[in-house]
Structure 1
Amino acid sequence: MARKPRIDVAGIPQHVIQRGVNRSFCFVDDHDCNYYLYSLHKAAEQHDCRIHAYVLMSNHVHLLVTGHSLGSVSAMMQSLGRRYVRKFNKRHDRTGTLWEGRFKSCLVDSERYVLICYRYIELNPVRAGIVENPGEYPWSSVHANAFGKVDRLVDPHPVFQMLGAEKTSRMASYRNLLARVLDQDEITSIRAHVNQGKVLGSREFQLNVESLTGLSATLVQMGRPRKS
C-alpha cells in the first residue's frame, strides 16, 4: 500500500513526534541525549530547518520546526534518524530499527497555535509526572526559551519574538504562559492533528493549505487520540 502523502508547505511550522519502536527507549543516558541534539543541529543546518522548541522523552521526541523549503523537514528527520541510530546501536550493542515507522507531524497555524505548541512540548515532562516544573527537566528547549540559557539549536519563531521587545521581557511573558495549564481540549486537539497528520489551525488556514497542497487538512473523526 502506498504511503499517505505528508502535508507540507515551506515556511509553515510543524509539530513533529518521533517515537521509539514498541515504545522502547530511544535514550538510555545523557550521552545519547547530547548526541541526538548534536545530530539534530547538524541535520537542521544541512536541510535549512529552524528548531523552535523540543523535548527528549525516554521513548519519544517532540519538535516544533520550520522547514524553509518543501520536504526539508522530512529530509532533516531522515538524516537525523540514520545518524543517530547508527551511533545508538553501536553504543548499546544492538541492531535493527529504533524508530516506530514514519515520524508524525502536523502543520501549525502560526498566529493562533504556535505558542500553544511551544507550551505543549515543553510541558510534556510535567504532564508525564516526571517533574513538577518544566525547568527541572534537563532535555528541553525550555531552558533557552524561558530562562535564557544559550542553546545553539533553538531559533525563536517570529510569534515568540512578539512576546516582548527585549529578550528578558519575552522570557517573562513566556514563563507566565507556561504557568497556565493547557486546556484539555487543546491537548486532545494537538494529539489528534499530529497523529492524523492534519493541519492545526483555523478553518481559513486549513482551506489555504488545502488549496496549496490538494490534500485534506481536516480531522477524520475517530477514537480517542494516542497520548504523547
Structure 2
Amino acid sequence: MPKARSELVCVSDTPFYHVVSRCVRRTFLCGKDYATGRCYEHRRGWIEERIRLLASVFAIDIAAYAVMSNHYHLVVKLCPDDAAQWCDDEVLARWCSFYKGPSLVQRYRRGDNLCAAELRRVEDYAEAYRQRLGSLSWFMKCLNEPIARQANKEDECTGHFWESRFKSQALETEEALLSCMAYVDLNPVRAGISNAPETSDHTSIKERCRPEFNLAEAIARQTEQQALNEFLVPLKPLLSFEGTTRQGSPHGIPFGFDDYLKLLDSTGRLSRSAKRGSIDKRALPILERLNLDPGRWCQRATGFEDSYQDFRRPESRQKVA
C-alpha cells in the first residue's frame, strides 16, 4: 500500500528530495505531439518560470530541474527554518502574491483597523501560511494546478493535465543527491534532444552555465500576463555549491561546482542501452567547451547571485515590514 506523503517527506531525515510529475497518459503536452503535429514547446517555459518564481516565495531551494516534453524533474531542498524566521507580515505578503486570501487578511494588509479578535485570527492565518510555504505538497500544488488551468484554457478543454500527484524520493546521502542531480541535468542528453548539458533548454545546468540569461525578465513578463498580486521578494538563485562539507546540515550542495561539471561530463559520456543519447566521446571536456578554467570558474560561481535582479514591480519596491 502506498505511504502517506507525510511519511515520505520528513525534513528531520533529509531536506533533499527528487520530485517527478508527468503529463496525463505521458503524452507530449509540453512538446511536439507527432500524432497531431501540434507543438506545445512553449509550455516548458511556463513550467520553468513557475518553478523559479515559486522557489523565490516558498522556503524551498532548487538544486536541479529539467522540464521535458511530457514530464519534469526537480531536486529540491526544504528549508522550514527559513519560514520560521519570517514575520507575519512577510508571510502574508508572500502568500498573497499568489492568492488573494480571505477578506480579513486583505483588510489587514490594507491597514484597516481590526479588533483584537480579528488580529488573533490574522495571526492564525499567518501561521497556517507559514506551514504551507515550507511544504513540498503545497509547492507542487501551486506549481501544477495553474499550469493545468493555463494549458486547458489554451486547448479549450477540461480534464486532467497531470496524470497523478507528484512522486517524491528522499535523497539521504551525498551520493544520492549528486547522482540524482546528474540524472536530472542529463535528461535531455539521454533523451537525444540535446548534445551537451550546457545547451539543454529548460534545465538548471544551462542556467548555471549561462547566468547571463536573464530569467528574471521572463518571469516578470509572466507575472504581468497572469496578473499576479504584488510580488515583494527578489528572484532567488539556484541552490549554490559549497565546495566542502560543513558540520551539521549543509546550507548548499556539499560539492565543488567545477568538480560537479566534470562529474556530469564524464557521466554523460557513458552510453546506456535503454537511452538514445549520450555526450559525444570526442567532444572537449565541459570546462573547455565553456572556455573556463577552474580558478576563474570558482570566482564566477561564488558571484552567481549577482546575476539575479530584483524584478518586483516599480510600485512594490518597499520591503515588507
Q: Give 2:195's aligned residue.
A: 132
Greater Cα radius of gyration, structure 1 or 2: 2
Assess, with a 3 A threshold, how the Cα gap between structure 1 residues 51 and 76 changes in structure 2: closer, same or farther: same
Q: Percent identity?
A: 30
Q: Give 1:32's aligned residue.
A: 43
Structure-to-structure mapping, 1:29-68, within 5 angstroms: 29-68=40-79
CA distances 1:148-175 after superposition (whole Å, capped 9, x unpaired): 4455564225xx32169xxxx9443222
SS at match of 2:139: helix
Is 1:8–2:5 an aligned residue pair?
no
Q: Give 1:205's aligned residue.
A: none
Q: Which amino acid aligns with 1:5?
A: A
CA distances 1:77-135 after superposition (whole Å, capped 9, x unpaired): 01111111111111222211111111111110242221211111000111112222112
Assess, with a 3 A threshold, how the Cα gap between structure 1 residues 154 and 106 changes in structure 2: closer, same or farther: farther
Q: Are 2:17 and 2:170, in contact at CA under 8 Å, matched by a contact in 1?
A: yes
- Bigger CA drift: 102-111 or 3-12? 3-12
Q: Give 1:162's aligned residue.
A: 243
- Distance of 1:145 and 1:55 partners within structure 2: 13
Structure 2 residue ranges without an equivalent (≥5): 32-39, 81-130, 216-234, 246-254, 275-321
- Distance of 2:242 and 2:209 partners within structure 1: 12
CA distances 1:19-78 after superposition (whole Å, capped 9, x unpaired): 111111231444312222222233333431111110000000000011223761111001
SS at match of 2:48: helix
TM-score, structure 2 length as denominator?
Answer: 0.49
- Distance of 2:173 and 2:208 partners within structure 1: 17
SS at match of 1:117: helix
User: What RMSD in Å do the two structures reach over aligned CA positions?
Assistant: 3.0
User: 1:13 deviation in Å?
Assistant: 0.8
Assess, with a 3 A threshold, how the Cα gap between structure 1 residues 3 and 111 changes in structure 2: closer, same or farther: closer
Assess, with a 3 A threshold, how the Cα gap between structure 1 residues 145 and 13 changes in structure 2: closer, same or farther: same
Greater percentage in strand: 1
- Distance of 2:242 and 2:211 partners within structure 1: 13
Q: Are 1:146 and 1:174, in contact at CA under 8 Å, matched by a contact in 2?
A: no
Q: Which amino acid aligns with 1:180?
A: S
- Bigger CA drift: 23-32 or 97-106? 23-32
Q: Which amino acid aligns with 1:24?
A: T
Structure-to-structure mapping, 1:1-228, within 5 angstroms: 4-6=3-5, 7-10=8-11, 12-28=15-31, 29-69=40-80, 72-149=135-212, 152=235, 154-157=237-240, 160-162=241-243, 170-181=256-267
Q: Are 1:53 and 1:154, in contact at CA under 8 Å, matched by a contact in 2?
A: no
- Bigger CA drift: 140-149 or 104-113? 140-149
Q: Are 2:18 and 2:73, in contact at CA under 8 Å, matched by a contact in 1?
A: yes
Q: Are 2:56 and 2:236, in contact at CA under 8 Å, matched by a contact in 1?
A: no
- Bigger CA drift: 135-144 or 57-66? 135-144
TM-score, structure 1 length as denominator?
Answer: 0.68
